[in-house]
Structure formats: C-alpha cells, structure tokens
C-alpha cells in the first residue's frame, strides 16, 4: 500500500463547476497535509496546508481534513481554465514530505 | 528574492557519463531537499540537508548517487555512472525551518535524459 494515495484522474470539469480531489494516507502519526499544484513542465507550488480536523478555506480553495478516516480533500470552487494542472497531495511524516501520484484536472471552457 | 535556482535546466547525456546537477537555495533557508520525479514513481525525496549537513539520505537509490552541500548557498547532486533509468526531472527545494507546517519552495527542476 502506498503511503499517500490520490483518486486517479484525469478529472474533467466544466468552467464554473466544483472540482473535488481526494487523498488518503496510511501513517496515523502524520501531522500536516499539503496541496501542491503543478502545471505541465513546471515545478510544484504550494496551494495550502491543513493540520486541524475540519475545513480550511483560501479563496476558491477549501481543504478538508479528517484524521480519523485518514482522509484529506481539496475543493476548487468556480473552476477556471487556469486551474488545469496536476494537484499533488503531500503528507508530512517525521518532517519529510511524502507525495501522492497526483490528480490531473482539466477545466473545460 | 530569486527563488531556488537550478542548473542546468536540461541535460542530455550518454549512459556511463557523470552528471552533476546544481542548486542554489533561497537565501536564509536552512534546509535543502533533492527530489526526483518520474511518471512511474511520482515525486520522491532523495536526500535533505540542514545547515549544509546531510540529515537523511534514505531515498538515495544507489551508490551511484551522491549529494554535497559545501556551503549554505550551493548544493550538487551527482550521478556516476549514469544509466537510462536515471532519466527524470530532478527538483531542488528549500525551506526556512523544518516544522510540520513549513513550506518547501521548489526550483524549476533539471530534466535529465540518459541515452
């Protein structure tokens, strides 16, 4: 079992819709969770992180964490074509980041 | 700030040759990380440094790989001899501290192709 698993893509959503990305992790001791966005041919860039159960909102992005279920998600509201990218879930384990394989999102204009 | 700087951006070499990748972290960041990204294995941590000292190299795949950080503003990742399966994008990242919520900033990456 991989340490960090993401829902397989690609995920195609129409412009203005909500994109929902899921991530599960195996280490119950994980303390914090990160979402990175990676455009094709570019480096990962941090969108947001979360470390408490519940929701955390930042603009059009909402991260949700449920430690009991070992589950973290990212919602992208009002999706725009510029949101088309691969989204990487990362889990902090002993201060090192373990990354999921990523989910590719395509927003259709 | 210029961000994390990596060179070269692209490297094409033949099997058996030595390859050296370079990284300059963000000024003031005490931690430096080397990652490798492939389609098959995703983004993997190879090694990280704290104040120029290697802390964890458990991700380094083989003895052919070595990394150094001679000073706070420069690190190298060397592959000798290189093999076709080393073809990947190699990212360097740096962070100010190493807490559970500290952000790692990634460089633009070096795309390595070993023929």
- Distance, in Å, from the CA atom of B39 to the CA atom of A63, rounded to the nearest integer, reads 26
d(CA A50, CA A64): 8
Query: Given this model, what pLDDT does residue B77 score?
Result: 98
Mean residue pLDDT across chain B: 94
What's the rounded mean pLDDT across residues B21-30?
Answer: 95
Tens-digit pLDDT profile for residues A40-88: 999 999 999 999 999 999 999 999 999 999 999 999 999 999 999 999 9
The predicted model gives B16-45 an average pLDDT of: 95
- Is the pLDDT at A95 greater than 90? The verdict is no
- Determine the residue of chain B that is closest to A49 in CA distance: B101
Residues of A in contact with B44 (CB under 8 A): 99
What are the structure tokens assigned to B12, written together? 């094409």
Instruction: Please give the average per-residue pLDDT across B52-68, as a whole number.
Output: 94
CA distance A100 to B24: 26
Residues found in chain B = 115
Higher-confidence residue: A1 or B8? B8
| Residue B100 pLDDT grade (very low, low, confident, very high; cuts 50, 70, 90) | low
> In the numeric block, which tokens belong to residue A29?
């001791």
Chain A contact present for B99, CB below 8 A? yes
Distance CA A90, CA B61 (A): 21
Smallest Cα distance from B107 to chain A, Å: 7
Q: Is A6 helix (H, G, I), strand (E, B) or coil?
A: strand
């Amino acid at each position: 079992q991989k340490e960090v698993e993401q829902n397989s893509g690609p995920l195609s959503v129409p412009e203005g819709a909500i994109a929902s990305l899921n991530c599960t992790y195996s280490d119950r001791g994980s303390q914090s969770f990160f979402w990175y966005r990676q455009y094709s041919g570019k480096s990962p860039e941090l969108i947001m992180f979360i470390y408490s159960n519940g929701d955390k909102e930042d603009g059009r992005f909402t991260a949700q964490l449920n430690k009991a279920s070992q589950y973290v998600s990212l919602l992208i509201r009002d999706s725009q074509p510029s949101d088309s990218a691969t989204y990487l879930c990362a889990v902090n384990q002993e201060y090192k980041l373990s990354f999921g394989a990523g989910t590719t999102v395509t927003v259709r204009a | 700030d210029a961000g994390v700087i990596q060179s070269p951006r692209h490297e094409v070499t033949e099997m058996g040759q030595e390859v050296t990748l370079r990284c300059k972290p963000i000024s003031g960041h005490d931690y430096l990380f080397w990652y490798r990204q492939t389609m098959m294995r995703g983004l993997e941590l190879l090694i990280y440094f704290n104040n120029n000292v290697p802390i964890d190299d458990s991700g380094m795949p083989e003895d052919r790989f070595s990394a150094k950080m001679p000073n706070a503003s420069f690190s190298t990742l060397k592959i000798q001899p290189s093999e076709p399966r080393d073809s990947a994008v190699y990212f360097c990242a740096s962070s100010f501290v190493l807490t559970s919520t500290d952000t790692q900033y990634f460089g633009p990456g070096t795309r390595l192709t070993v023929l």
